[in-house]
Amino acid sequence: MDFSLSTEHEMTQKMVRDFAQKEIAPVIKEYDRKQEPVPTSLKRMGELGILGLCFPVRYGGQGMDYVSLGLACEELEAVDTHLRVAMSVHTGLCSMTLFQWGTEEQKEKFLTELASGKKLGCGAFTEPGCGSDVSAVQTSAKRDGDFYILNGEKMWISLASKADYAMVVARTNPDAKKPSAGLSSFLVDLHSEGVKTGDLHGKLGVRAGSTGWISFSDVKVPVANRIGEEGEGFKITMAGFDHGRYTVASGATGLIRASRDVSVKYALERRTFGKMIGEHQLVQQKIAQMMQDYEIARMLYLKVGWLKNMGERSTLATSYAKKFATEASFNAANEAIQIHGAYGFSDEYDAERYLRNSKGAVIYEGSSEIQTLIQAGYALGFREDKPLRCELPAYDEAFWNE
């Protein structure tokens, strides 16, 4: 296991960092206050190839590996969480799920548009009555000849009103003895007749991000848009969560780093009791914890990226990375505010936004409680990695760059 970064990794990291720091950082406070996305962010991420970093060139991607995806997410969230959220839903939940489970025809038709950034995707799983319990999904998809008729509503969907496609899980067999066995997955064109979308406002954090709802009313979805076989929707969704959680973990690592950096800067500027507050041991203790947590979180997500590159299942490793990094980012942002004192309570300082943004990640993409159950399940032998019909392809540099 080698965690050293290649020249290509470092170039990718620098490219994403330059974009986020130069184009988004100067205006993010304004758009966070307005609760609006930065207008150019998604377009520029597509133009720069960020949205399709880890896909083969033949499918419109940049030919980079899965570690590059993690590095990009770290750099994006170090500036603002809404940038990484776009990667989580477009790249992780939608495009990587399509890459893993889609047919060659589906990849040529849809993935090339998504990986190139010409079209945007999202994941539509959460419903008003179910979040963590995916097996309780009520959205229905009834077969009618060459189409499925889709009815239902999805809630708390990032990029709901911005995306062109949604990876949707719906119930195709309401009589299945096991609820999860009655689900199937579909790539739904959100411009179809019967689809309505809207935005949600008043969120605690990720205010510059687009979050909303999607309503399906007798939407005709071609059978050709079904991802996988009927009844595979639950495991397809869970596999997609592994990809999404990887992006959340690597992004949260960037938020730990950002909290550390603003804390160090302030600790070297602010003086109390005749000296810099960085000379006070309790302030040093807080910063030291951020340093430690950043290194641990980074190693955890790099391990997941390495496992993905090797074509290995990473559910447990991803759970470790997601739970640790998101909880550590919340703690780091909280301590950053404490270090800033009264100024940390003001949105003039980044620490305030970091704290608000950090809270969401311990809830979405599998809450900390869900991650605890996953980890305990493996330890107790209640869970095991059973072979899937379709695994995420291992990274092959020659194939990725053909």
Active site residues: 365
d(CA 304, CA 324): 13
Strand partners, 142: 149
Helix axes 281-310, 315-340, angle to 10 degrees: 160
Q: What is the 3-state secondary structure (H, E, C) of 72-136?
A: HHHHHHCCCHHHHHHHHHHHHHHHHHHHHHCCHHHHHHHHHHHHCCCCCEEEECCECCECCCHHH
d(CA 384, CA 220): 37
Can you read off the two tokens belonging to residue 85? Answer: 């959220």
Nearest 5°: CA angle at 318, between 315 and 324?
A: 140
284 near 335, Cβ under 8 Å?
no
252 near 242, Cβ under 8 Å?
no
Q: Which amino acid is at 30?
A: E
Residues in the chain: 402
Instruction: Measure the CA dihedral 252/254/257/262, to 10°.
Output: -100
Can you read off the two tokens belonging to residue 39? Answer: 């207008």
Kindly report the number of other CB atoms within 10 A of residue 343's CB atom: 14
E strands within 175-249? 183-189, 195-199, 211-222, 226-227
Can you read off the two tokens belonging to residue 263? Answer: 């804390």
Can you read off the two tokens belonging to residue 110? Answer: 């849809």
Buried b (16+ CB within 10 A) or exposed e, 233-263: bbbbbebbbbbbbbbbbbbbbbbbbbbbebb
Instruction: Measure the CA dihedral 162/167/169/173, to 10°.
Output: 120
